[in-house]
Amino acid sequence: MAAEYVKYVDVTKCDGCRACMVACKNWNDLPAEPQDFLGTMQSHANVSADTWNVLTFVEHENSKGGLDYLFRHSSCYHCSDAACEKVCPENAISYTEFGTVVIDQDTCVGCGYCVQNCPFDVISLKEYKDKNGKEYRKAHKCTMCTDRLEEGLQPACVTTCHTGAMEFGGKDAMIEKAEERVKEIKDRYPNAMVYNPEGVGGTHTIYVLAERPSVYGMPENPKVPTSAVLWKDYAQPIGKMMIGATTMAVVGAFISNKLFNKEGNGTHEDGGESDE
Amino acid sequence: MKTTVVSREYKELQSKIIKLQESWKNSVHADGVNPNLDKAAMAAGVPVVALADIHFEIPLFLQWIKELEELLVNQNPALSASFEILNDKLTETVAHQWIEEALSFNQSYFNEFARETGLEEWLPYFLAESAVRPYLQILAEKAQPEIHKAEPRCGCQVCGEPVRIAQLEGEGQKVVYCPRCTVHWRDKRVACSHCGNNDHKTVENMNVEGEAAAQIQVCEKCHGYTKVIDTRQYITKPTVAILDLTTIHLDFIAQERGYTSGGSPKGKN
């Protein structure tokens, strides 16, 4: 068993240079996605199938009435209890030995359940055409550079960060570092906190935030949707036991309805408001 | 992006040997290793080991060979027959000779020893070299404060090993490491670590496809090469010996293109 690693992101050290975005595109060979001006310094509204991390820029009025310009490296959180992994009907999404969550592109059928159920909105579908012109889709997201981890290397975004806002290391060490950092910055940022939400079993990208998560457009208390738990932990095993087709049809219909009805599946019930 | 050609089993075996060497180092009386640093000799390119006063403890050396035997036979039981032959031949006198010849890179002596005793050609030199390294590393630790550079074409200032590998550290400084004795010194980023050539037109970096953190720096003047590894990208920085081993494919690539470890005095191969 390899060590479980965590990407540590201290947003208070980020200067918004976006080198992490470039390094990600470069390493993963992702094409550029030209964007219209969004009215802010932020280049892309959100992550996409070809842009796996986005530097978000948030203008925020702090408690002293001053303006804070908040930068955040945003990408897949690699949840310990990942909703995407639970809902994938093809078992195309799995955990690696490092704790990262990856999509097997050969197995993915592009159903979009993972996109619908991710509490952080970090998975996207990309459309392709095969040689016969038939359209198909595949889900994409940050892999935490698992191919680099296998070689003992840190993720590309971390190695390029020139301010030291991102670090990579053993889970316990990184969590301890984050907690220490919060103590250091509490005077300057009274709302500072470690973001490592328990509702998804903790994540493998943890943040030191200067403000509440909602200020950054992050859910305050993300949870694995109930429907996702039902699907993976109950419906699939039941299906495999081949009980009556009628029962499966009823259970399947209920869950499918929940999986595709994002607004009603509980994902954002405790979520924060997006600033975008 | 798997680029290393070294199998996991072999890497693990080498890691175990390095661990053994670490423990052996602790069993050596450090007072018995004195570098006798002579700046004039160093400036002339004489390796520190040539003038060092080292008290080799032969019973320890023989014990280390036994420990290596245990490890290797455990990995490959077929070697036990070779060790039976070797155990008869490896007297204290032969051990002394082994140390002397290993320190002077006398491969032909070991090849001859293997031929005469009917051993595999690689085995005597491998054992001698592995067991002599703890002394070299203690010597390197003692000499390190005085090692700031290497003389052109003279290799490692401590043990004489040809320069082969450097690491990028801190803000991108190139630090040359000896994988044998682990002594290290800074070098210019754009400079041949063999001949000292720092003409940017004749010192080039070769990029290898799929290689995220390594380049091969080659010199068109002396035809030497140095593997330059950006170890800042590693999650856990490996020991230089392991780094040298896992990047052995870069040595093949460089050598296939006519470059040599150590360069050529006349700039030709």
| pLDDT tens digits, one per residue of A126-161 | 999 999 999 999 999 999 999 999 989 999 999 999
Question: Domain boundaries in chain B?
Answer: 8-146, 165-256
Is B32 in a helix, a strand, or coil? helix
pLDDT, position A266:
43
pLDDT tens across A71-125, in order? 999 999 999 999 999 999 999 999 999 999 999 999 999 999 999 999 999 999 9
Rounded to an integer, the average pLDDT of A20-44 is: 94
Q: Give A4's DSSP letter.
A: P
Give the separation between CA B252 and CA B260, rounded to whole angstroms. 10
Rounded to an integer, the average pLDDT of B88-102 is: 94
B222 pLDDT above the threshold of 70: yes
Whether the CB of B235 is below 8 Å from some CB of chain A: the reply is: yes
Which residues in chain B are contacts of A27 at CB distance < 8 A? 212
ipTM: 0.79
Give the separation between CA A201 and CA A81, rounded to whole angstroms. 5
Domain ranges, residue A54: 1-276
For residue B229, what are the β-bridge partners? B167, B214
Domains identified in chain A, total number:
1
Whether the CB of A148 is below 8 Å from some CB of chain B: the reply is: yes
A273 pLDDT above the threshold of 50: no
For residue B33, what are the β-bridge partners? B54
Is the Cβ pair B233, A154 closer than 8 Å? yes
Residue A258 binned pLDDT confidence (cut-offs 50, 70, 90): low
pLDDT, position A263:
53
pLDDT tens across B126-155, in order? 999 999 999 999 999 999 999 998 888 899
Would you state the structure tokens that stand for residue A227, as one six-digit string? 């429907």
Is the Cβ pair B1, A148 closer than 8 Å? yes
Whether the CB of B2 is below 8 Å from some CB of chain A: the reply is: yes
Whether the CB of B207 is below 8 Å from some CB of chain A: the reply is: no
Residue A173 binned pLDDT confidence (cut-offs 50, 70, 90): very high
Is the Cβ pair A154, B235 closer than 8 Å? yes
Residue A31 binned pLDDT confidence (cut-offs 50, 70, 90): very high
- In chain B, the residue whose alpha carbon lies closest to the alpha carbon of A158 is B233
Rounded to an integer, the average pLDDT of B183-206 is: 95
A4 pLDDT above the threshold of 60: yes
Percent of the residues in chain B that have a pLDDT greater than 70, as a whole number: 97
Question: What does residue A45 show for φ and ψ, rounded to 5 degrees?
Answer: -65, -40
Handedness of CA A176, A178, A182, A188 (dihedral sign): positive
Identify residue A104 by its one-letter amino acid code: D
B47 pLDDT above the threshold of 90: yes
Whether the CB of B238 is below 8 Å from some CB of chain A: the reply is: yes
Is the Cβ pair A153, B235 closer than 8 Å? yes
Is the Cβ pair A153, B233 closer than 8 Å? yes
What is the 3-state secondary structure of A114-178?
HHHHCCCCCCEEEEEECCCCCEEEEEECCCCCHHHHCCCECCHHHHHCCCCCEEEEEHHHHHHHH
Nearest to B192 by CA among B221, B231, B160: B221
pLDDT, position B246:
92
Mean pLDDT of the residues in chain B = 93
**Which CATH number goes with the domain that contains A165?**
3.30.70.20
Give the separation between CA A252 and CA A237, rounded to whole angstroms. 12
pLDDT, position A236:
65
Would you state the structure tokens that stand for residue B5, as one six-digit string? 């050609």
Residue A237 binned pLDDT confidence (cut-offs 50, 70, 90): low
Rounded to a whole number, what is the distance in Å from the CA of B7 to chain A's nearest CA?
13
